[in-house]
Amino acid sequence: MKEPLFLKPVFQEKIWGGNQLQTSFNYELPSDKTGECWAISAHPHGVSTVINGKFKGTKLDELWKKESHLFGNPKEPVFPLLIKILDAEDDLSVQVHPDDEYGKKHAGELGKTECWYIIDAKPGAEIIYGHHAQTREELIEMIDKGQWDQLLTRVPVKRGDFFFVPSGTIHAIGKGIMILETQQSSDTTYRVYDYDRKDDEGNLRELHIQESIDVTQVPHHIPVNEIKQVNVGSSSLTTFLQSDYFCVYDWEIEGSTKFEKQAPYTLASVLNGFGYLFIEEQEEPFELKKGDHFILPNEINNWKIEGDIQLIASTPGSKNSK
Ligand code: ZN
């Protein structure tokens, strides 16, 4: 039977987290400082579990290994993507991630290219996105002297904005922002600056200055990214990004929209509304509601979504589907 794989998320407590994942998405949270919902993940720090159908109770990393036909028999050893929802009640640390080469060598895992869809942002909310240093010497000097205001580029954000954050980009999500993050399956973060904050035990979080200097792109280039939007009936379908690592889409559906498979498998997260997912040759649809996350495996070639509903979807990029 052709069926989607609905997944149970894993939650992560963070010093900058809040309780919006409960108030907005109705998730049961482990604490009022829940920063991250790992919605679709096979990363060892938080693996999602299938909650429906034939594979109910199976972890995603296990499926990737044992049922690789679901993903088009890929050659990569690990599920390459990780989908998160983040609730930044407070500022996240200023950070940078390595590329695949550096990540493999120094952390034994993939690098981390990521991108953000802004689900919600309080008035005045900002992200840090890139820096002003022109040379590596200048970067080192400004970090050394703590000249954060001169070094870091701040960008105001609003609901619906999209940012591509390739590995090597200095960045931070500011307080009052909720995002859906599509990223490589990696948990390697190099912290440049943490606002001199202390945790509950009075300790500063570790910084990784040398690694940050090693991997930061200097000078910072704003990645060129063309966003394409089409209307299909009353629905609006947007392609946010087609990169080597993943492609990311926004499906805002009103009524009924048909889809054809574009990649070996497709990931999707419901951000708003309610609807139904119809799979080819099946009469009974699957209910879709805000906060659901699922994968359409390789054997599903066509599907239809009905309702008044918004989903952010992604597929593996060219680097991952070879
Ligand atoms: Zn990051």
Residue 322 pLDDT exceeds 70 = no
Residue 222 belongs to a domain: no
Last residue of a domain, one of 194, 215, 236: 215
260: domain CATH number?
2.60.120.10
Going from the Cα of 160 to the center of ligand 1, the distance in angstroms, rounded, reads 19
According to the model, what pLDDT value does residue 209 have? 95
Residue 223 belongs to a domain: no
Last residue of a domain, one of 215, 242, 272: 215
DSSP string, 61-102: HHHHHH-GGGGT----SS--EEEEEEEESSPPPEEE---HHH
pLDDT tens by residue, 22-81: 999 999 999 999 999 999 999 999 999 999 999 999 999 999 999 999 999 999 999 999
pLDDT-derived band of residue 320, with 50, 70 and 90 as boundaries? low
Count of all residues that appear for the chain in the document: 322
Active site residue 136: no
Residue 321 pLDDT exceeds 60 = no
Going from the Cα of 172 to the center of ligand 1, the distance in angstroms, rounded, reads 7
Going from the Cα of 78 to the center of ligand 1, the distance in angstroms, rounded, reads 20
Going from the Cα of 1 to the center of ligand 1, the distance in angstroms, rounded, reads 38
Catalytic residue among 136, 159, 191, 205: 191
Whether residue 232 is found in the same domain as residue 304 = yes
Q: What percent of the chain has pLDDT over 70?
A: 99
- The whole-angstrom separation of Cα 112 and Cα 57 is 28
Q: What percent of the chain has pLDDT over 90?
A: 91
pLDDT tens by residue, 189-237: 999 999 988 888 889 989 999 999 999 999 999 888 899 999 999 999 9
What rounded mean pLDDT belongs to the chain? 95
Whether residue 116 is found in the same domain as residue 13 = yes
What mean pLDDT do residues 113-132 have? Answer: 97
Going from the Cα of 158 to the center of ligand 1, the distance in angstroms, rounded, reads 19
pTM of this structure:
0.95
Residue 321 belongs to a domain: no
- Collapse the DSSP code of 256 into the 3-class scheme (helix H, G, I; strand E, B; otherwise coil) and give the result: strand
